[in-house]
C-alpha cells in the first residue's frame, strides 16, 4: 500500500532523515517510537507532503507522491493525518468541523455530511457534543473530534503524530481507546507515540527510530522483549548509563567512586545498593588491574529504570580470555566476593574485544 525507498530530509546542513525505506501493507498498524528529535514526526509529514522530502521516493498504491503532477489534496484525503495539537476550527461547532471537509472537498450534500458525521461522533463517544464549540471541550474530547474529522474524509490510511502528547494522563486512555477500535476495524495506521504499552498492544509492527534512521524494526514482542540493538534496548528499558575509561594501573579510585556515587544519587538508588555496587566494581577492577599496563579498560554501569537492575560491563582489547573464569582464579578472595554479589556473570568476545557483564543482585 505504501512504499518508501531511501527517503531523506535536510534543512540546510541539518540532516533529519537519512535513509528511510519502508513497506506498509493494507490493514497494518505500525507504531514509531524513539527519542525526541530523531525524525519521527518529520517522517510522517514527508509522507503526507506537509514537508517536501529532499531525496528518495514514496508511493501509495503505485501513485508517486513526489511527482509534480500528483494531486496532493486527493492524496491527503486518502492518507489523512491527526496532529498532537488538534487543529480544530475554534469558530465552528464540532459538527461543522466534521462536515466542512466532506462538503467542500468531497462534494457531499450538507444533509448527508451531517448524518455521516453524527454517526462518526457516536463512534468516538461525542454525539452529545455535536453543537458544542472546541473551547467547551476537554483536551481528550478535542483529540477525539480531530480523529472523527479525519474519519469523515473516508481515509484509507491515518497518520497519528503523537496524538496523546498534549493531553493530561487522565485523558490519554479515552483517545487510545478510539485508536484501538480503528485498529480492530482494519484501518491502516502509522502512529508516532511515546505510549509504550499502547504500541505493544495495538501494533503489528514497531519501528524504533534514532539519528534519522529506522534503527530497528520488528514485532512488538521482539522490540519490547528481545531488542537486538543496544540503543533500542536502552530506550525500551529506560537505561541510564555511567561510563568511565581507565588507562593506567594507577587510576584515581576515589575520584571514580565519587562519580559513581553521584550517578547513584541521580537514580535515587538505596544506600545498600550503592555500597554493593561500589564493592563489586572495586573487586572487578582489582582482578583486571594487571591488564592496565598494556591496554585500556572501559567501565559501564547501566541502570534499567524499567527492570530496576544494574549491570556492570568491563571491556578491553587483547587476547581472548575471561579473567573471572574460576579455573583461572579458583581461590581468589575477590572472585568469591564478586560471585556473592553477582546474580549473573557473562563473558563474550565481540569484535576483538573481551566483554564481561555482571548483573548485581537485588537487595
Query: Tell me, which fold does domain 238-360 have in CATH?
Result: Heat Shock Protein 90 (3.30.565)
Least Cα distance to 258 among 239, 238, 281, 287 occurs for: 281
Q: Is the pLDDT of residue 288 over 60?
A: yes
Pairing outcome for strands 2-11 and 14-24: antiparallel
CA distance 217 to 79: 22
Contact 194, 33 (CB under 8 A): yes
Q: Which of 64-78, 173-187, 301-315, 334-348 has the least mean pLDDT? A: 64-78
Instruction: Specify the pTM.
Output: 0.78
CA distance 126 to 117: 11
Q: Is the pLDDT of residue 17 over 60?
A: yes
Q: What is the mean pLDDT of the chain?
A: 91
pLDDT range class, residue 278, cuts 50, 70, 90? very high
CA distance 169 to 156: 29
Nine-digit cell at 274? Answer: 550503592
User: Which runs of consecutive H residues, i.e. helices, occur in 106-168?
Assistant: 110-123, 139-151
- pLDDT tens digits along 131-190: 999 999 999 999 999 999 999 999 999 999 998 887 887 788 888 889 999 999 999 999
- pLDDT tens digits along 82-107: 988 888 999 999 999 999 999 998 89
Q: Is the pLDDT of residue 330 over 60?
A: no
- Domain layout of the chain by residue ranges: 2-236, 238-360
CATH architecture of the domain formed by 2-236: 3-Layer(aba) Sandwich (3.40)
- Percentage of the chain exceeding pLDDT 70: 99
Contact 128, 140 (CB under 8 A): no
Contact 134, 157 (CB under 8 A): no
Pairing outcome for strands 297-304 and 213-218: unpaired
Contact 341, 335 (CB under 8 A): no
Nine-digit cell at 237? Answer: 528499558
Provide the 10 A C-beta neighbour count for residue 100: 16
Q: Is the pLDDT of residue 354 over 70?
A: yes
Contact 210, 35 (CB under 8 A): yes
Q: According to the model, what pLDDT value does residue 331 have? A: 61
Q: Is the pLDDT of residue 205 over 90?
A: yes
Q: Is the pLDDT of residue 200 over 80?
A: yes
- pLDDT tens digits along 214-272: 999 999 999 998 999 989 999 998 889 999 999 999 999 999 999 999 999 999 999 99
Amino acid at each position: 500500500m505504501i512504499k518508501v525507498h531511501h527517503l531523506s530530509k535536510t534543512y540546510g546542513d541539518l540532516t533529519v532523515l537519512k535513509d528511510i525505506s519502508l513497506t506498509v501493507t493494507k490493514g497494518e498498524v505500525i507504531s514509531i517510537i524513539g527519542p525526541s528529535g530523531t525524525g519521527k514526526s518529520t517522517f510522517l509529514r514527508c509522507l503526507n507532503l506537509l514537508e517536501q522530502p529532499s531525496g528518495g521516493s514514496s508511493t501509495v498504491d503505485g501513485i508517486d507522491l513526489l511527482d509534480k503532477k500528483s494531486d496532493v489534496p486527493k492524496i491527503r484525503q486518502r492518507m489523512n493525518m491527526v496532529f498532537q495539537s488538534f487543529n480544530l476550527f475554534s469558530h465552528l461547532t464540532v459538527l461543522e468541523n466534521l462536515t466542512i471537509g466532506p462538503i467542500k472537498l468531497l462534494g457531499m450534500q450538507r444533509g448527508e455530511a451531517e448524518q455521516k458525521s453524527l454517526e462518526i461522533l457516536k463512534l468516538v463517544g461525542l454525539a452529545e457534543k455535536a453543537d458544542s464549540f472546541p473551547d467547551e471541550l476537554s483536551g481528550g474530547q478535542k483529540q477525539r473530534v480531530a480523529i472523527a474529522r479525519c474519519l469523515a474524509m473516508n481515509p484509507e490510511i491515518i497518520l497519528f503524530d503523537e496524538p496523546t502528547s498534549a493531553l493530561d494522563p487522565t485523558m490519554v486512555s479515552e483517545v487510545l481507546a478510539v485508536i484501538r477500535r480503528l485498529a480492530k476495524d482494519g484501518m491502516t495506521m502509522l502512529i508516532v507515540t511515546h505510549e509504550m504499552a499502547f504500541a505493544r498492544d495495538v501494533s503489528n509492527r514497531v519501528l524504533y527510530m534514532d539519528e534519522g534512521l529506522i534503527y530497528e524494526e520488528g514485532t512488538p514482542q521482539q522490540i519490547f522483549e528481545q531488542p537486538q540493538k543496544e540503543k533500542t534496548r536502552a530506550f525500551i528499558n529506560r537505561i541510564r548509563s555511567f561510563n568511565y575509561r581507565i588507562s593506567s594501573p594507577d587510576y584515581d579510585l576515589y575520584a571514580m567512586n565519587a562519580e559513581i556515587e553521584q550517578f547513584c544519587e541521580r537514580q535515587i538508588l538505596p544506600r545498600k545498593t550503592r555500597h554493593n555496587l561500589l564493592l563489586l566494581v572495586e573487586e572487578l577492577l582489582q582482578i583486571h588491574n594487571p591488564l592496565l599496563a598494556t591496554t585500556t579498560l572501559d567501565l559501564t554501569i547501566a541502570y534499567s529504570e524499567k527492570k530496576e537492575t544494574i549491570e556492570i560491563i568491563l571491556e578491553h582489547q587483547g587476547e581472548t580470555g575471561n579473567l573471572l573464569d574460576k579455573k583461572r582464579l579458583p581461590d581468589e578472595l575477590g572472585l568469591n566476593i564478586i560471585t556473592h554479589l553477582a546474580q549473573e556473570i557473562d563473558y563474550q568476545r565481540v569484535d576483538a574485544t573481551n566483554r564481561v557483564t555482571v548483573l548485581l543482585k537485588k537487595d
